[in-house]
Amino acid sequence: MSSPHSFPIMTRRQALIAGGALVVTCLVRTPANAAIDSGKPALTPSELDSWVAVKPDGSVIGYFGKVDIGLGIQVAIAQIIADELDVAFDQVSIVMGDTAMTINQGGASGSTGLELGSVPLRNAAAHARHILLGMAAEKLASPIDMLDVTDGVVSVRGTLGHHAEERGVSYGELIGGRYFDVQLQWNGKIGNDVAVIGTAQPKSHGQYRVVGKSVPRADIRDKLLAKEIYNTDIRVPGMLHGRMIRPPVAGAVPVKVHEAAIAHLPDVQVIWRRGLLGVVAAKEWHAVKAARELRVEWSSPAAAFPPQEALYDAIESAPPVASGGAAPVGDIQGALARAGKVVSATYYWPFQSHASMGPACALADVQADHATIWTGDQKPHYIRDGVAAFLGLPPEKVHGIWLRGPGSYGRNDGGDAALDAAYLSKAVGKPVRVQGMRADGIAWDPKGPASVHRVSAGLDASGEVIALRFRSKAFSRENIASHPDDPTQSLAGQLTGLPIKTKHAFDVPEEGYDFANHDLGWEVVPPLLERASPLRTSHLRDPLGPQLNFASESFIDELAFATGTDPVEFRLRYLKDERGIAVIKAAAEHAKWKPHTAGGNAAGDSADPVVVGRGIAFARRKNTRVAVIVEVEVNRRTGRIWPRQWTVAHDCGLIVNPDNLRRVIEGNILHATSRALFEEVRFNPQTVTSVDWLSYPILEMRDAPEKIEIVLIDHPDELPLGAGEPSTRPVAAAIANAVFDATGARLRQAPLCAERVKAAFLQFEG
């Protein structure tokens, strides 16, 4: 049984000199002993020591300023470092996300973990090898170009192992436990864009030994054996438990609080400032009960939201506050005017919740002039900055410690939990751990935005598409910024009266079909409630990708059939991007796609309510390309859609870890299937009514597919691109296209839930 305070406190210095393998999740440190971490080069990107360290036993630490939200990126980072340094994979451990030990690399963000995040580590490791070879050359009295490195032991070529005196010299002997104190060239940026480069050339494909191998994740074993320490598991001496009490009506604030209602609970304090109300107790269960039982009189604001069924009318009739898009190509108006036929369709996407597996948790210890925040958020450096700003402390006086939390997939409730914990800890003068209840993670997280997409295309007499117009009208992608570094972007900030700042932005489809005239644009409408809205928007996995692709790739299918063309052939005809063409061809070939030019063939006059069909969709996300083909079973009586078999063709540049990539793609397909078929945040004019897994259903095992077959297209001579989100993108459109193939009915509103499917097939009722 683990002791409550058994987490070793460790500094960079201690990490460097500690013997044995480093257990990265145990690197917990408090400001109290920060002072002993002296004599080290400053933690800035230009210091090589900020990225890699060699311990006395020759093992290597990589300091990664992003974090693993569950996809296992630390393995790929370690593989890259192992190859650049010529050490064995098992000699590398990765420290992630601790603000006192790692550079702010932007946190988990936009599938950039490998594409951007690995670059400084690759370059730093290559430079470290170069420095170490220089040291070894001196020690072994040999020219550098005569040296080999095997598992971190440098030797003169051809001599290793022949005689004891010719055994070579290990990295541990050369620099173990000491700092390099060497400078790299830094581009001056921080966050996702931070880059450093040394004078050494990183390796090329032919020199990779570990990159490209399916090395397993050590953390999976730890998790199965109950060894993983999540951020929810941290306890510190004197720690209290907090719970927040959110308004029962959106926009309401507490007017009167009756503490007598919880007087029977021991050691409970009520903390209340303007709209922000919480309770703190010595025992977690007492905090839960106090939050439930505290009697609060709330203000009665006007209803903030339209009835749910009027949401899309509200979007369409709202005056836009911002607009934008891609530069139009050609003359869209003229081309549509002269088109022999115009095809139009409108698509709808709902608000969706992160609904993370556990409600967010944070532990804050706020002292007079410094603070420590333990967080599972995917952007711990920005959490540090946000907590510092909220408390009025300089960022360097706040230590952010990251441990794994429930997979977050965007700006979930983690940013709010951190400031709530800081607020409560400051108020009571003790460390406070806050974990939300289920509703905090579903009703009160920032949401993926609802949207309406109007698409039109003009066809000439020969059936050629001469114009495409794509217009989204939607809530902004970021009422709340994706980085949690600004307290105005949090519930705690907004409920205590900080000014409201909101960004008005949306996006356009990225697939890039080459129609002669095209115009892709968007308009953003104002938020329904400005302050502390449970429908405020922010980034949710592949922000805007699923909704834009659902509209654009459904419409491409509609256009294919309108022109009597097979959907695969149609895409290949208008796509000029070679790598896009390659994934579509690979998927079609692997799935043995049968060309067809009309939907609903399977349905015919069949009296059997169950019909089967196949659909394709293509997605480009930055430079990653994905094509998916899905076979669905549609029950026209029950309305159930079951995506039974998937084929995914995936190109994300260099593949670092094929098996892990396959699992990441599977996770994308499942998560996106859940969003496509089931997920819609419910609300009434007063508030959000999706508060748990019954009112916000997600995919369960019965709906998991039978099979997902994956074709990986490797580009070994390139660098890795993103894979954490791109295969989320085409899922909804592929399913809708398959439903059309099966039934002849086109579903244009997500989620493609049973009620909507049943409504399309009334003849099968009863």
Interaction with other proteins in 681-720: which residues (CB under 8 A)? 692-694, 698-702, 704-705, 708
CA distance 406 to 722: 21
Which of 13, 44, 177, 230 contacts other proteins by CB under 8 A? 230
Which of 109, 112, 269, 563 contacts other proteins by CB under 8 A? 269
Minimum CB–partner distance for residue 736 and other proteins (Å) = 19
Shorter beta-carbon distance to other proteins: residue 120 or 730:
730
Which of 148, 173, 233, 569 contacts other proteins by CB under 8 A? 233
Minimum CB–partner distance for residue 441 and other proteins (Å) = 9
Contacts (CB under 8 A) with other proteins, residues 633-662: 659-660
Which of 66, 203, 404, 473 contacts other proteins by CB under 8 A? 404
Q: How many CB atoms are located within 10 Å of the residue 39 CB?
A: 7
Shorter beta-carbon distance to other proteins: residue 225 or 368:
225
* Interface stretch with other proteins, choices 15-23, 168-176, 255-263, 740-748 (CB under 8 A): 255-263
Containing 139, the helix (H) or strand (E) segment is helix 118-140
* Interface stretch with other proteins, choices 161-169, 201-209, 404-412, 748-756 (CB under 8 A): 404-412
From residue 433 to residue 472, the character string flagging contacts with other proteins as x (rule: CB under 8 A) and all else as - is --x-xx----------------------------------
Which of 259, 569, 577, 709 contacts other proteins by CB under 8 A? 259
Shorter beta-carbon distance to other proteins: residue 359 or 448:
359
Shorter beta-carbon distance to other proteins: residue 531 or 671:
671
Is residue 417 a contact residue for other proteins (CB under 8 A)?
no
Minimum CB–partner distance for residue 497 and other proteins (Å) = 24
Shorter beta-carbon distance to other proteins: residue 2 or 606:
2
| Secondary structure letter of residue 637 according to DSSP | T
Tokens at residue 581, please?
């063409």
Strands 268-273 and 276-281: antiparallel
Which of 331, 460, 577, 666 contacts other proteins by CB under 8 A? 666
Amino acid at 185: Q
The strands making up 465-475's β-sheet, listed across from edge to edge, are: 322-325, 517-525, 465-475, 451-459, 341-349
Handedness of CA 257, 263, 268, 269 (dihedral sign): positive
Shorter beta-carbon distance to other proteins: residue 268 or 304:
268
* Coil vs helix vs strand at 40: coil
Shorter beta-carbon distance to other proteins: residue 37 or 680:
680
Q: With beta carbons less than 8 A apart as the criterion, state whether 672 and 743 touch.
A: no
What does the DSSP assignment read for 307-321? -GGGHHHHHHHSPPS
Which of 1, 35, 42, 461 contacts other proteins by CB under 8 A? 1
Minimum CB–partner distance for residue 226 and other proteins (Å) = 4
Which of 88, 229, 318, 719 contacts other proteins by CB under 8 A? 229
Shorter beta-carbon distance to other proteins: residue 286 or 748:
286
Q: With beta carbons less than 8 A apart as the criterion, state whether 63 and 50 touch.
A: yes
Q: Which residue is listed with tokens 């170490």? A: 132
Minimum CB–partner distance for residue 256 and other proteins (Å) = 15
Q: With beta carbons less than 8 A apart as the criterion, state whether 59 and 40 touch.
A: no
Which of 99, 232, 549, 647 contacts other proteins by CB under 8 A? 232
525-529 contacts at long range (C-beta below 8 A, 24 or more positions apart): 525/315, 525/318, 525/319, 525/320, 525/321, 525/473, 525/474, 525/475, 526/318, 526/319, 526/321, 527/475, 527/476, 527/479, 527/502, 528/304, 528/305, 528/306, 528/314, 528/475, 529/250, 529/251, 529/304, 529/305
From residue 182 to residue 221, the character string flagging contacts with other proteins as x (rule: CB under 8 A) and all else as - is ----------------------------------xx-xxx
Tally of CA atoms within 13 A in the half-sphere of 329 that contains its CB: 13
What does the DSSP assignment read for 683-741? B-SSSB---STTTS----GGGS-SEEEEEE---TTS-B---SSGGGTTHHHHHHHHHHH
Cα distances (angstroms) measured from residue 662 to each of 279, 365, 531: 44, 40, 41
* Interface stretch with other proteins, choices 324-332, 477-485, 668-676, 748-756 (CB under 8 A): 668-676
CA distance 362 to 415: 9
* Interface stretch with other proteins, choices 254-262, 611-619, 738-746, 757-765 (CB under 8 A): 254-262
What does the DSSP assignment read for 488-555? GGSHHHHHTTPPP--B-------S-B--SEEEEEEEEEPPSSSSS-TT-B--BSSTTHHHHHHHHHHH
Shorter beta-carbon distance to other proteins: residue 114 or 371:
114
Is residue 2 a contact residue for other proteins (CB under 8 A)?
yes
Shorter beta-carbon distance to other proteins: residue 178 or 295:
295
Buried residues in 609-645 as b, exposed as e (16+ CB within 10 A): bbbbbbbbbbbbbebbbbbbbbbbbbbbbebbbbbeb
Minimum CB–partner distance for residue 540 and other proteins (Å) = 12
Q: Using alpha carbons, select from 464, 459, 468 the residue that is nearest to residue 331.
A: 468
Which of 134, 266, 394, 463 contacts other proteins by CB under 8 A? 266
Q: Which residue is listed with tokens 């064995």? A: 88
Is residue 256 a contact residue for other proteins (CB under 8 A)?
no
Shorter beta-carbon distance to other proteins: residue 50 or 378:
378
Contacts (CB under 8 A) with other proteins, residues 3-22: 3-4
Minimum CB–partner distance for residue 716 and other proteins (Å) = 23
From residue 734 to residue 763, the character string flagging contacts with other proteins as x (rule: CB under 8 A) and all else as - is ------------------------------
The strands making up 153-156's β-sheet, listed across from edge to edge, are: 147-150, 153-156, 169-170
Enumerate the β-bridge partners of residue 47.
183
Minimum CB–partner distance for residue 82 and other proteins (Å) = 19
CA distance 205 to 209: 9
Minimum CB–partner distance for residue 580 and other proteins (Å) = 25
Contacts (CB under 8 A) with other proteins, residues 279-308: 283-285, 288-290
Helix axes 731-743 and 545-562, enclosed angle (nearest 10): 30
Which of 264, 274, 341, 501 contacts other proteins by CB under 8 A? 264
* Interface stretch with other proteins, choices 139-147, 405-413, 522-530, 549-557 (CB under 8 A): 405-413
Tokens at residue 454, please?
């109007």
From residue 320 to residue 359, the character string flagging contacts with other proteins as x (rule: CB under 8 A) and all else as - is -----------------------------------xxxxx
Contacts (CB under 8 A) with other proteins, residues 52-91: 69-72
Which of 21, 182, 190, 265 contacts other proteins by CB under 8 A? 265
Q: With beta carbons less than 8 A apart as the criterion, state whether 427 and 270 touch.
A: no
Q: How many CB atoms are located within 10 Å of the residue 78 CB?
A: 25
